[in-house]
Chain A
Amino acid sequence: QKEVEQNSGPLSVPEGAIASLNCTYSDRVSQSFFWYRQYSGKSPELIMSIYSNGDKEDGRFTAQLNKASQYVSLLIRDSQPSDSATYLCAVSVIGGTSYGKLTFGQGTILTVHP
């Protein structure tokens, strides 16, 4: 069983639409949740982090966390072609030697077409 699971896509949405990316995780003690964006040929960059249940908004991005259901999602409003990338969900456990010990999903490829 995969520890962090994402729909690999590709997910294709028209420009201006809402893109919805989902992620589920298996370890109930997970405490920190992250979304990274990776453009083709580039390294991942952090776009959102969320630690508490509920929604967290940052510009056009909204992260949603539901620990009871063990899922985290990312909504991208008013999608732009420049949002086309692979989105990586990452999960970690707080404490001890768990510095940066992220478990990544396989990524969802998003394509925003004009």
Chain B
Amino acid sequence: ETGVTQTPRHLVMGMTNKKSLKCEQHLGHNAMYWYKQSAKKPLELMFVYNFKEQTENNSVPSRFSPECPNSSHLFLHLHTLQPEDSALYLCASSLPRRGGNTGELFFGEGSRLTVL
């Protein structure tokens, strides 16, 4: 199994739909993240979870709702999205180092979302 697995890999949804993205990591890491990657824009951090607790919400609209039931699983619930939300959503995990920070992220392959 790969280290960080995301499903589905591709998703097309209408603006009134409700869908969820799933991420699972098999690396024994304690921190998990959602990043958004749009064309010609830098990767944007959305949410951070450490030991199942949300420690970062980077001013993300409420139509994106994260859930982290345990250190290995992370979800991103989507509802009433807008076409501009179409992007690649990347999940990542890391093992925090002493000092409270690590940038050594392991990314999943991403979920390509298209909102019609």
Q: Are B104 and A96 in contact, with the CB atoms below 8 A?
A: no
Instruction: Name B30-48 residues within 8 Å CB distance of A.
Output: 31, 33, 40-45, 48
Tell me if B59 is interfacial: C-beta within 8 Å of chain A: no
| Number of chain B residues whose Cβ lies closer than 8 Å to a Cβ of chain A | 28
Tell me if A49 is interfacial: C-beta within 8 Å of chain B: yes
Residues of chain B within 8 A (CB-CB) of A45 are: 107
How would residues 86 to 113 of chain B score, 1 for a CB under 8 Å from any chain A CB and 0 otherwise? 0000101010100111111111111000
Tell me if A100 is interfacial: C-beta within 8 Å of chain B: yes
Q: Are A97 and B55 in contact, with the CB atoms below 8 A?
A: yes
Residues of chain A within 8 A (CB-CB) of B94 are: 99-100
Q: A88-B43, A102-B45 are in contact. Are A49 and B103 (CB under 8 A)?
A: yes
Q: Are B103 and A32 in contact, with the CB atoms below 8 A?
A: yes
Q: Are B104 and A49 in contact, with the CB atoms below 8 A?
A: yes
Residues of chain B within 8 A (CB-CB) of A106 are: 40-42
Partner of B108, one of A43, A97, A105: A43
Q: Are B50 and A104 in contact, with the CB atoms below 8 A?
A: no
Partner of A92, one of B42, B43, B55, B101: B101
Q: Are A94 and B109 in contact, with the CB atoms below 8 A?
A: no
Q: Which residue of A lies closest to B100 (CB)?
A: A95
A113→B99 CA distance, assembly (Å): 42
Q: A44-B43, A106-B40 are in contact. Are A100 and B100 (CB under 8 A)?
A: no
How would residues 73 to 95 of chain B score, 1 for a CB under 8 Å from any chain A CB and 0 otherwise? 00000000000000000101010
Residues of chain A within 8 A (CB-CB) of B100 are: 94-99
Residues of chain A within 8 A (CB-CB) of B101 are: 31-32, 92-95, 98-101
Q: A100-B105, A106-B40 are in contact. Are A95 and B33 (CB under 8 A)?
A: no
Write 12 A-B pairs (CB below 8 A) sorted by A numbering. A33-B103, A34-B103, A45-B107, A90-B43, A91-B103, A95-B99, A97-B55, A100-B31, A100-B48, A101-B45, A101-B56, A101-B101
Residues of A within 8 A of B (CB): 4, 31-34, 42-46, 49, 88, 90-107
